Amino acid sequence: MFDDLACEKFGRKDLKYQHWRWQPHDCDIPRFNGKALLERLRDKRLVFVGDSVNRNQWVSMVCLVQSSIPQGFKFMRLNDSLYTFKATEYNASIDFYWAPLLVESNADDPSKHRSDNPIVRTDAIEKHARHWSDADILVFNSYLWWRIPKFKVLLGSFESPKKAYKEVETPNCYKMVLETWADWLNTHVNRTKSRLYFVSMTATHHLGEDWGMHGDQNCMNEREPIMEEGYWGSGSDPKMMGIVEEVIRRMKTKGVEIQYLNVTQLSEYRKDAHPSIYRKQWRPLTKQQLSNPLSYADCTHWCLPGVPDVWNELLYAYIVHF
């Protein structure tokens, strides 16, 4: 468990957030069975590709399966952008690859990056794709870094001494990147072997006014989900979801099946399930942050056990039962 997700370890006392279960109308989600999934993954490689929310889901998946594996038959390895969990008895690998914008960007270093000035090469994906081109199951996401009005698109390479950029409206840039991603899949994916998934954006709860609190409140100290059916907060952009859905529809016409895991609505309700201040900080806190915990509460990622386990129950159902 990474310390930025281990809320109980870092002082969270209320654990009710661990016990809510997602129940869709007219549908029963199969219970997660770690051994059944590992058997399905025997001699295979499952790779999560994307940002820190996708890493959040990967950590959840590792936690869900590892208790089914005896000590001595599993190991973890971190190698730059590639995180590997291996179940040796099954020859199964469950990996995470850090590529928050899918294509090459100035955010490619998993520990040294800035989200306030992202720069992308919209047509360059091979640097990343070579790390997951042999995967049997690929689970993609990319949304967290796209919540700004405009992006800088690099004309040329990051290695060039003279760099030129053009500014592009974020939805247009997102579409360009997803088209590059889709073109790579269309060219390289084995249609009979590979299974492809794209996880939709997950909710953030930074603005308490979304659920009737004062504007300076956020997820900190929230202990109950939002019970208003169909609730939709300001942190989720339907237009961006629509871009993903359109690319997936177009890929289907080309014979490439990508299952869209729509977890947005179910995570919208869960304002109670973020780490808030109950986590290890990646960087030392400033005096201003220490004097006002609201300023550093994490209302983007998710405590574990918690909401990402539900996303993996959905993924499990697709891999094992469909």
pLDDT at 168: 97
Distance set, CA 37 to CA 50, 60, 96, 315, 316 (Å): 22, 14, 17, 10, 7
Distance set, CA 172 to CA 149, 151, 242, 308 (Å): 10, 9, 12, 29
pLDDT at 281: 84
pLDDT at 112: 82
- In the chain, where the domains are located: 16-111+124-147+171-321
pLDDT at 1: 84
pLDDT at 290: 85
Tokens of 84: 């590997």
Nearest-angstrom CA–CA distance, 37 and 43: 12
Nearest-angstrom CA–CA distance, 318 and 322: 5
Helices 170-188 and 238-253, axial angle in degrees (round to 10) = 30
Q: Residue 152, class by beta-carbon neighbours within 10 Å (0-12 exposed, 13-18 middle, 19+ buried)?
A: middle
Nearest-angstrom CA–CA distance, 46 and 229: 34
pLDDT at 227: 96
Distance set, CA 134 to CA 3, 44, 66, 128 (Å): 30, 9, 23, 12
pLDDT at 188: 96
Q: Which amino acid is at 193?
A: K
Q: Catalytic site residues?
A: 52, 298, 301
Per-residue pLDDT of the chain (322 residues; tens, 9 = 90+): 899 999 999 999 999 999 999 999 998 999 999 999 999 999 999 999 999 999 999 999 999 999 999 999 999 999 999 999 999 999 999 999 999 999 999 999 998 887 778 999 999 999 999 999 999 999 999 999 999 999 999 999 998 888 899 999 999 999 999 999 999 999 999 988 999 999 999 999 999 999 999 778 999 999 999 999 999 999 999 999 999 999 999 999 999 999 999 999 999 999 999 999 999 987 788 888 889 999 999 999 999 999 999 999 999 999 999 8
- Between 3.10.20, 3.30.230, 3.10.350, 3.40.50, what CATH number should domain 16-111+124-147+171-321 receive? 3.40.50
Nearest-angstrom CA–CA distance, 92 and 37: 10
